[in-house]
Chains A and B, each alone.
Chain A
Amino acid sequence: MQPMLKTATNIFLLCLIALSGRANAALEIEIVGGAAQQIPIAVVPFAQPAVQPDNLATIINSDLRRSGLFRALETRGVSNQPHDLAEVKYPEWAALQAQALVVGHVELQPNNRLKVSFRLLDVLKQTSLAGLEYDITPTQLRGTAHKIADVIYEKMTGEKGVFDTRISYIIKQGNRFQLQVADADGANPQTVLSSVEPIISPAWSPEGTRLAYVSFEKKKPVIFVQSLVTGQRQVLANFKGNNSAPSWSPDGMRLAIVLTYAANSQIYLINSDGTGLQQLSHSSGIDTEPRWSPDGKWLYFTSDRGGSPQIYRMSTLGGDAQRVTFEGSYNVSARPSPDGKLLTYIRREAGSFRVAQQELASGQVQLLSETTQDESPSFAPNGRMILYATNSNGRGVLAIVSADGRTKQRLSEAGGDVREPAWGPWIK
Chain B
Amino acid sequence: MNKSLVMSVILVSLLAACSAKPVKEEPKAAVEDKSSVVQAAPAAATTTDASAAPAVQSSSVANPLTDPNNILSKRNVFFDYDKDEVKAEYRPLVEAHAKYLVANPNAHVAVQGNTDDRGSREYNLALGQRRAVAVKKVLNVYGANDKQIETVSYGKEKPRCVEANETCWAQNRRADLVYSGE
Binary contact track B17-43/A, C-beta < 8 Å → 1, others 0: 110010000010011000011111111
Count, chain A residues at interface, CB 8 A: 67
- A-B interface contact total, Cβ < 8 Å: 176
User: A23 touches which one: B7, B150, B155 (CB < 8 A)?
Assistant: B7
* CB under 8 Å from chain B, chain A span 283-323: 286, 288-289, 302, 309
B1 within 8 A of A: yes
Task: Report chain A residues within 8 Å CB of B38.
Answer: 231-233
B8 to chain A, nearest CB (A): 9
A-facing residues in B136-163 (Cβ within 8 Å): 150-155, 157-158
In the bound assembly, the distance between CA atoms of A74 and B18 in angstroms comes to: 44
Given the complex, which residues of B lie within 8 Å of A201, measured CB to CB? 121-122
Closest-by-CB residue of B relative to A7 is B40
Residue B125 CB within 8 A of the other chain: yes
Q: How far is the CA of A376 from the CA of B120 in the complex (A)?
A: 7
| Contacts A242-B129, A263-B133, A264-B133 given; does A9 touch B40 at CB 8 Å | yes
Q: Which residue of A lies closest to B163 (CB)?
A: A394
State in angstroms the CA–CA spacing of A231 and B127 once bound together.
33
Q: Is the CB of B120 within 8 A of A346?
A: yes
Chain B interface, number of residues (Cβ within 8 angstroms): 51
Q: Closest residue to A394 on the B side, CB-wise?
A: B164
What separation, in Å, do the CA atoms of A191 and B37 have in the docked complex? 13
Contacts of B164 in A (CB 8 A): 394
Interface assignment of A416: CB less than 8 Å from any CB of chain B: no
Partner of A288, one of B7, B15, B122: B122
Task: Say whether A288 contacts B125, CB under 8 Å.
Answer: yes
Segment with Cβ contacts to A, from B46-54, B58-66, B89-97: B46-54
Cα(A245)–Cα(B120), bound, Å = 11
Interface residues of A in 260-274 (CB under 8 A from B): 260, 263-265
Q: Mark B114-127, 1 if CB is under 8 A from A, else 0.
A: 00001111110111
Quick check: A302 and B123 within 8 Å, CB to CB?
yes
Per-residue B-contact encoding for A309-347, CB less than 8 Å = 1, 0 else: 100000000000000000000101100000000000010
- Contact in complex: B40, A10 (CB < 8 Å): yes
Q: Tell me how far the C-beta of B125 lies from the nearest C-beta in chain A, rounded to whole angstroms.
A: 6
Majority secondary structure of chain A interface residues (helix, strand, loop or mixed): mixed
Which residues from A are CB-within-8-Å of B51? Answer: 175, 196
Select from chain B the residue with minimum beta-carbon distance to A286: B126
A359 lies within 8 A of chain B by Cβ: no
Whether A229 sits at the interface, judged by CB under 8 Å, is yes
Distance A244 CA – B153 CA, assembled complex (angstroms): 10
Let me know if A18 and B157 touch, CB within 8 A.
no
Partner of A242, one of B46, B50, B125: B125
Q: Are B14 and A11 in contact (CB under 8 A)?
A: yes
Contacts A9-B41, A10-B40, A197-B50 given; does A348 touch B119 at CB 8 Å: yes
Quick check: B14 and A18 within 8 Å, CB to CB? yes
In angstroms, Cα B127 to Cα A339, docked, is 32
Question: Which B residues touch A348, using CB under 8 A?
Answer: 119
The reply on A216 being an interface residue by CB < 8 A is yes
* Docked complex Cα distance between A15 and B39 (Å): 17
| Residue in A23, A258, A333, A420 whose beta carbon sits within 8 Å of that of B11 in the complex | A23
State in angstroms the CA–CA spacing of A65 and B42 once bound together. 34
Contact of B120 among A12, A229, A289 (CB under 8 A): A289
What sequence of 0s and 1s flags, for each residue 16-29 of chain A, a beta carbon within 8 Å of any chain B beta carbon? 10110001010000
Known: A200-B125, A245-B122. 14 other contacts (CB 8 A): A12-B27, A13-B44, A15-B18, A53-B3, A195-B46, A200-B121, A216-B157, A229-B42, A264-B130, A265-B129, A288-B126, A330-B119, A373-B118, A394-B164
Interface set of B (CB-CB < 8 Å, partner A): 1, 3, 6-7, 11, 14-15, 17-18, 21, 27, 30-31, 36-51, 110, 118-123, 125-127, 129-130, 133, 150-155, 157-158, 164
9 A-B pairs within 8 Å (CB atoms) are namely: A12-B27, A13-B37, A18-B14, A23-B11, A260-B133, A263-B133, A265-B125, A286-B130, A346-B119
User: Which A residues have a C-beta under 8 Å from some C-beta of B?
Assistant: 1, 5-6, 9-16, 18-19, 23, 25, 53, 175, 190-198, 200-201, 215-217, 219-221, 226, 228-233, 240-242, 244-245, 258, 260, 263-265, 286, 288-289, 302, 309, 330, 332-333, 346, 348, 353, 373, 375-376, 394, 420
